[in-house]
Structures are given as structure tokens and as C-alpha cells.
Amino acid sequence: MNTKSLIISQDLCGVGQVSMGVALPLAAGLGLTPYVLPTALLSSHTGGLGANTYLDLSSEMPGILTHWQQLQLQPDGIYLGYLGQNAALQWQRWLPKLSAPLVLIDPVMADDGKLYKGFDAAYVETLQQLAYRATVLTPNITEAQLLLDEPLVALTEPSAVMALAKRLHAQFHNAVLITGVPFHKQIAVVGMDASGETLALAQPKEPGHYFGTGDLFAAALATGLLKGQRLRQAAATAMVAARLAIKATLAADADPKYGLNLAGVIPALSKQLP
Ligand code: PXL
């Protein structure tokens, strides 16, 4: 098969386009072959749209993955985002049984010093175990601190964030990109590649909070890497994707709780990617 294949495993939210709702159109629209493994079905994301439903789909995962093994799919990449505790435990069992050159884990569980609704210390521990199997990790600052059992403090100095990325790299031996790093009036991604070479990229920050931006960043990063970009280049591509989507959301005057406007992202990225 010429096209690269990517297992995408995270939740599917009916309203509030985040996680699978972002990753699937992006990966498919850019020509990857997605293998879709939803971990939960929610009426909406959990970030302030009211009383969301939550159907845990983790009990389906062993059957699905067993079938995929029979198909001998040999994915080029595996991308894990928001999972939920039971699905994270399934991945702890299943990741060692699969092999893929790219294993991108976005340890979605917290932001701004707080765990998201529904997550607890046991979830943090499971994600710490999973992180050892990642080839690329994309936490925000809070998630990076949780992965390292460090106090959840705001970091304002880029050097402190770089030091955090170095500690993650030393602990988990993979490429690390810490996302959403505030840097004056900009927003930065700070980290290092698998060999320990550092990188820091910044771009202007739009005011406000945009749901799904981290998910879009991770999905675009996975796509860029599978299409042969180096980490720095793929991170730059993913930052452009996030900025374009935020600008389109702003231009449409849409409530950002309902997710990002992806209309311009796929044409723009397909020009940058082979
Ligand atoms: O965008 C991250 C995310 C993914 N999945 C669910 C969420 C969120 C953030 O709120 O609630 C269910």
C-alpha cells in the first residue's frame, strides 16, 4: 500500500468538534488511510456544554483489535488521544502486541493545573505507563508535570519549559513536544527530538480558548510525520493548522465551544505535505 495508515484511537463527541471529530477528517482529507478505534461516545465534549452523556466503548476494543490482527494491517502509525480509564488500560495491554514506527501519544487529561472532569490519579498512572511506549509525546505543561509526578505550577520562563521537556525525554526516551506554552503574546511549542536535539517554535496567539486545538495539533503532527516530515517541520505544519483553524473560527464568529472551523486547513496543509 502506498498511502500511510494510521490507527486513530480517542473518543467521538457528537457536539463540540474535538478529538476524533478533528483527527479523522484531517487524516483522511490529507490522504492517509485511517483505522478508526473510538474509545467512547459522548453527546458533547466535557468542557462546559452541560450534562454530556458518556458511553464507554472500551469493551469493544479487544474484539476490534483482534479482527485487525487477523487482517494483518501493519499500521504505519498509532495516534492515541483522549481515551478514558478503561480504554487506556486496553491500550496498556495492546500496545506491546502491535508494532508501528510512529506511536504518538497525546496524554489528554488536564490543562491549566487541573485534571479534566472524570480523570483521577489512577488515570495519570496509566498514562505514565503508556508514555513509555510512545515515540512522540505531546503534553501541555500540566500534563507534562503529571507524567513526571511534579507539582502543578504555572511556568512562565521558556527555559523552565525546556527543562521540563528535557526531564520528560530523560524519563520516557522519546521525542517530546510541550504544546500551548505561553510566550509573551505568542504561543509556543517547546521540546526535543528523539536524539535530544531541542526545538522551540512560536507564533502569534489569538485571544480566547479554542476547544480541539491540541487535538488538531496532534493529528496534523502525526500526519506530517507519516508523510515524511522531520519533527521540527511537522510541528511547524501542525502549528499552522491550529492557527488557520482558530482564525477561520474567529472569522465565522462561531462560539469556540463548538469546535474549530477546519475548512481552510486541509487545502493549506495538502500544499505543504507531499
Ligand atoms: O479536546 C480534548 C477533549 C477530548 N475529548 C473530550 C473532551 C476534550 C476536552 O474537553 O471533553 C471528551
- Give the pLDDT of residue 162: 97
Q: Identify the bridge partners of residue 190 per DSSP, sorted by sequence position.
A: 178, 200
Site to probe by mutation for ligand 1, drawn from 10, 17, 19 as the one with most ligand atoms within 8 Å of Cβ, is 19
pLDDT of residue 207: 84
- Angle value at C-alpha 234, between 1 and 80, nearest 5 degrees: 70
Which strands form 12-15's sheet, in the order they lie side by side? 12-15, 40-44, 54-56
How far, in Å, is the centroid of ligand 1 from the Cα of 82?
Answer: 7
Q: How many CB atoms lie within 10 A of CB 100?
A: 19
Please give the distance, rounded to the nearest whole angstrom, from the Cα atom of residue 86 to the centre of ligand 1: 16
Contacts for 137 with CB less than 8 Å, ≥ 6 apart: 104, 105, 106, 107, 131, 147, 168, 172, 174, 175, 176, 177
What's the predicted TM-score (pTM) here? 0.97
Q: Ligand 1 centroid to 134 CA: how many Å?
A: 20
| Mean of the per-residue pLDDT values of the chain | 95
Query: Residues with Cβ < 8 Å from 89, sequence gap 6 or more?
Result: 58, 126
Shortest-distance atom of ligand 1 to CA 117: 11
Lowest-pLDDT range, 28-42, 224-238, 245-259? Answer: 245-259
More confident residue, 119 or 274: 119
Return the pLDDT at 102. Answer: 98
For 150-186, what is each residue's pLDDT tens digit? Answer: 999 999 888 999 999 999 999 999 999 999 999 888 9
Q: pLDDT band for position 208 (50/70/90)? A: confident
Per-residue confidence (pLDDT) for residue 156, from 0 to 100: 84
Structural domains in the chain, sorted by start: 5-272 (3.40.1190.20)
160 CA → ligand 1 middle, Å: 27
Q: Tell the residue nearest (CA) to atom 10 of ligand 1.
A: 47
The CA-CA-CA angle for residues 119, 154, 89, to 5°, reads: 25
For the chain, give percent helix, strand, coil, nearest 5. 40, 20, 35
pLDDT tens-digit readout, 47-104: 889 999 999 999 999 999 999 999 999 999 999 999 999 999 999 999 999 999 999 9
Hey, what's the torsion of the CAs at 47, 50, 55, 58, to 10 degrees?
10
Ligand 1 mean position to 274 CA, how many Å?
A: 30
Pocket of ligand 1 (CB under 6 A): 11, 13, 18-19, 42, 45-47, 82, 108, 116, 211-212, 214-215
List the residue whose alpha carbon is closest to atom 7 of ligand 1. 45
User: DSSP label at 49?
Assistant: S
Separation CA 221–CA 241 (nearest Å): 9
Distance CA 244, CA 220 (A): 12
Helix (H, G, I), strand (E, B) or coil at 172: helix
User: What contacts 118, CB < 8 A, 6 or more positions away?
Assistant: 46, 54, 84
Ligand 1 atom nearest to 44, measured from its CA: 12
Nearest-angstrom CA–CA distance, 271 and 245: 16
